[in-house]
């Protein structure tokens, strides 16, 4: 592979020229077996793609439910140090580096798949699994490009018996059930503005934003299949700052702070306020903007139109350690959710302003954290508000998925709900990358403000041999 040291503009121009080859076509995929019935004590035969770092945590959580039988393990860096804990936990389970070979050899033994790989690689694994009739649990966000998310939703809609779940785990915790009850009872109504904030240090904050090329090529570790790691993306030479969580930093591979945390902060507001897709995304601040990795700090404005009797809503997203949002009087402190999974770089540390949101409604202003954290009302000194009680979750996110595979529950973050949420983040990332205001036609799902940005909805064409995943 040649080193992919092009500027953002050159890369985007190449994407435009080639995007017609990928347009939004229709998929030829092998129709696999759908597993429709389970006995009360039967476990779901689960294959796991991505077994180190966060992928390993997902496997442990799914296994801990007692509802899964781990039948296959797959990782492009098998036997690297970060994969060894899972290999020791499941020493006799068949191992694969290539998910395609795994499905070829063990497809009849696999009923469901967990996908804990980098953001950009969710797409082909998910599309193959759904095409083969396998249930899918995939980490958030669903995919890196708007069109890939769209195709994943279409594939799930076509294969109606396939159960899907995106891994925003708080969507099965107290935050989900409380938010639902607040809206249903009218305690939260006529929301007009939401502030979402994630101001902890990020991996790229020590890097030089004056970068003019990707980092230089380094020797590929002996355990890693670097060509397969890249999957359908354009060719890059290996560098340690592309792998093991560092992929989050790069526009080519990850979704930055917004894609990483947005689904844990804005998921319930997006669903229960019926926000759908924005009509405008405006980058109000992009400190340290460059062609390759995410800004040092970002402020984005997402504008959503009136929905029925509900008023328009503006969401403002703030990230960066020196980019704190304005806080209402009497805000106090929002505690850090103790259930936040620690990143491989170490646990998120409590700060002056922990990750969360402020929700401005007609009668009350609410504050809340991320993941499963519940909301409270910021006192106005005039009235005491008694919030309604809400039901306890009957199952965590992992058990909910496996029970849905068995027909006992419905998933709480299926693709038809998680997809539009992920697409909101895709549009936000496009505004970060291009530095341009995005004007979006919600009905036609096209960007009207820029042909360049509109072509990025699809993105660059896949590498040769990966085209089939872009057809439904």
Q: 56-65, 178-187, 382-391, 412-421 — which is least confidently predicted?
A: 382-391
pLDDT the model gives residue 7: 37
The class (CATH top level) of 8-171+397-427+450-470 is alpha beta
Report the DSSP beta bridge partners of residue 286. Answer: 298
Q: In what helix (H) or strand (E) does residue 445 lie, and over which residues does it extend?
A: none
pLDDT the model gives residue 228: 97
pLDDT the model gives residue 346: 63
Of 328, 378, 396, 325, the residue nearest 354 (C-alpha):
325
Query: Band of the pLDDT at 368, cuts 50, 70, 90?
Result: very high
pLDDT the model gives residue 5: 37
Percentage of the chain modeled with pLDDT above 70: 87
Cα gap 139→274, rounded to integer Å: 22
pLDDT, one tens digit per residue, over 453-467 is 999 999 889 999 999
pLDDT the model gives residue 202: 96
Q: 14-28, 121-135, 146-160, 442-456 — which is least confidently predicted?
A: 14-28
The answer to whether residues 286 and 295 touch, using CB atoms and an 8 Å cutoff, is: yes
Measured CA to CA in angstroms, residue 445 lies from 247, 258, 441, 457 at distances of 28, 21, 5, 9
Determine the average pLDDT of the residues in 160-177. 97
Other CB atoms closer than 10 Å to residue 25's CB: what's the count?
A: 12
Q: In the predicted model, is pLDDT for residue 9 greater than 60?
A: no
Q: How long, in residues, is the chain?
A: 472
Cα gap 280→270, rounded to integer Å: 16
pLDDT, one tens digit per residue, over 247-259 is 999 999 999 999 9
Structure-model confidence comparison of residues 374 and 33, the more confident one: 374
Helix extents (H) in 376-457:
397-405, 415-434, 451-456
pLDDT the model gives residue 37: 58
Percentage of the chain modeled with pLDDT above 90: 83
pLDDT, one tens digit per residue, over 260-312 is 999 999 999 999 999 999 999 999 999 999 999 999 999 999 999 999 999 99
Q: How many CA atoms lie within 13 A of 141 on its CB side?
A: 34
The DSSP secondary-structure symbol of 307 reads B
Query: Band of the pLDDT at 21, cuts 50, 70, 90?
Result: very low
Dump the DSSP string for 349-372. PP-SS-SEEEEE-SS-EEEE-STT
pLDDT the model gives residue 8: 42
Name the phi and psi angles at 321, rounded to 5: -65, -25
Query: Which is it for strands 135-139 and 112-115: parallel, antiparallel or unpaired?
Result: parallel
Q: In the predicted model, is pLDDT for residue 32 greater than 70?
A: no
Cα gap 129→111, rounded to integer Å: 10
Assigned token pair, 275? 């926000």
Q: Considering the chain, what is the average pLDDT of its residues?
A: 91
Assigned token pair, 362? 């007609």
pLDDT the model gives residue 382: 76
pLDDT, one tens digit per residue, over 314-355 is 999 999 999 999 999 988 876 666 767 766 666 666 676 899
Assigned token pair, 450? 């820029």
Cα gap 174→181, rounded to integer Å: 11
Hey, is 302 helix, strand or coil? strand
**What are the residue boundaries of the structural domains of the chain, listed by start?**
8-171+397-427+450-470, 172-217+240-377
Dihedral in degrees, nearest 10, Cα atoms 343, 64, 113, 223? 50
Name the phi and psi angles at 246, rounded to 5: -70, -20
The answer to whether residues 229 and 350 touch, using CB atoms and an 8 Å cutoff, is: no
Structure-model confidence comparison of residues 29 and 402, the more confident one: 402
The DSSP secondary-structure symbol of 472 reads -
pLDDT the model gives residue 332: 83
Vertex 413 angle, CA 409 and 418, to 5°: 155
Query: Band of the pLDDT at 36, cuts 50, 70, 90?
Result: very low
Sign of CA dihedral 463, 150, 261, 311: positive
pLDDT the model gives residue 347: 65
Q: In the predicted model, is pLDDT for residue 2 greater than 60?
A: no
Q: In the predicted model, is pLDDT for residue 4 greater than 50?
A: no
pLDDT the model gives residue 286: 98
Assigned token pair, 350? 């409590």
Query: Which is it for strands 446-447 and 438-441: parallel, antiparallel or unpaired?
Result: antiparallel
Q: How many CA atoms lie within 13 A of 217 on its CB side?
A: 11
User: Rounded to a whole number, what is the distance in angstroms from the first to the last CA of the chain?
Assistant: 29
Vertex 190 angle, CA 184 and 191, to 5°: 100
Cα gap 375→362, rounded to integer Å: 16
Q: 8-12, 192-196, 230-234 — which is least confidently predicted?
A: 8-12
Of 394, 469, 401, the residue nearest 112 (C-alpha):
401
Please give the model's pTM, rounded to 2 decimal places: 0.91
Query: Per CATH, which fold does 172-217+240-377 belong to?
Result: Dihydrodipicolinate Reductase; domain 2 (3.30.360)
Q: In the predicted model, is pLDDT for residue 20 greater than 60?
A: no
pLDDT, one tens digit per residue, over 77-119 is 999 999 999 999 999 999 999 999 999 999 999 999 999 999 9
The answer to whether residues 24 and 150 touch, using CB atoms and an 8 Å cutoff, is: yes
């Amino acid at each position: 592979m040649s080193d992919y040291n092009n500027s953002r503009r050159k890369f985007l121009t190449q994407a435009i020229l080639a995007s017609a080859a990928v347009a939004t076509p229709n998929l030829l995929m092998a129709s696999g077996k759908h597993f429709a019935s389970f006995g009360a004590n039967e476990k779901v035969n689960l294959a796991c793609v991505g077994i180190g770092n966060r992928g390993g945590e997902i496997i442990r959580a799914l296994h801990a439910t007692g509802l899964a039988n781990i039948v296959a393990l797959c990782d492009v860096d098998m036997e690297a140090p970060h994969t060894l804990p899972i290999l020791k936990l499941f020493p006799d389970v068949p191992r694969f580096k290539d998910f395609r070979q795994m499905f070829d050899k063990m497809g009849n033994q696999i009923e469901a798949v967990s996908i804990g790989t980098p953001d950009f690689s969710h797409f082909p694994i998910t599309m193959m699994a759904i095409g083969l009739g396998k249930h899918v649990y995939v980490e958030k966000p669903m995919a890196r490009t708007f069109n890939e998310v769209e195709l994943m939703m279409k594939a799930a809609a076509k294969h109606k018996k396939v159960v899907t779940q995106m891994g925003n785990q708080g969507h099965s915790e107290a935050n989900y059930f409380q938010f639902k009850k607040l809206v249903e009872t009218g305690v939260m109504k006529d929301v007009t503005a939401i502030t979402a904030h994630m101001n902890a240090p990020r991996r790229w904050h020590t890097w030089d934003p004056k970068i003019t090329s990707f980092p230089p090529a380094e020797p590929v570790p002996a355990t890693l299949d670097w060509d397969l790691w890249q999957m359908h993306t354009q060719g890059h030479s290996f560098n340690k700052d592309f792998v093991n969580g560092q992929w989050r930093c790069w526009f080519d591979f990850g979704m930055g702070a917004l894609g990483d945390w947005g689904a844990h902060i804005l998921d319930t507001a997006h669903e229960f306020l019926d926000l759908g897709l924005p009509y405008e995304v405006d980058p109000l601040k992009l400190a340290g903007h460059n062609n390759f990795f995410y800004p040092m700090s970002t402020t984005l404005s997402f504008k959503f139109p009136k929905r029925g009797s509900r008023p328009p809503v503006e969401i403002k997203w703030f990230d960066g350690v020196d980019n704190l949002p304005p806080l209402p009087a009497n805000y106090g402190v929002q505690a850090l959710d103790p259930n936040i999974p620690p990143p491989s770089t170490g646990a998120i540390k409590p700060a002056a302003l922990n990750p969360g949101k402020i929700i401005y409604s007609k009668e009350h202003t609410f504050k809340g954290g991320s993941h499963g954290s519940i909301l409270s009302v910021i006192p106005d000194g005039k009235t005491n508000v008694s919030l309604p009680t809400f039901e306890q979750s009957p199952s965590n996110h992992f058990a909910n998925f496996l029970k849905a595979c068995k027909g006992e529950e419905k998933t709480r973050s299926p693709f038809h709900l998680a997809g539009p949420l992920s697409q909101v983040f895709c549009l936000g990332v496009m505004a970060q990358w291009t530095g341009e205001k995005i004007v979006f036609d919600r009905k036609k799902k096209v960007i009207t403000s820029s042909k360049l940005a509109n072509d990025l909805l699809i993105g660059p064409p896949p590498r040769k041999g990966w085209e089939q995943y872009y057809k439904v």
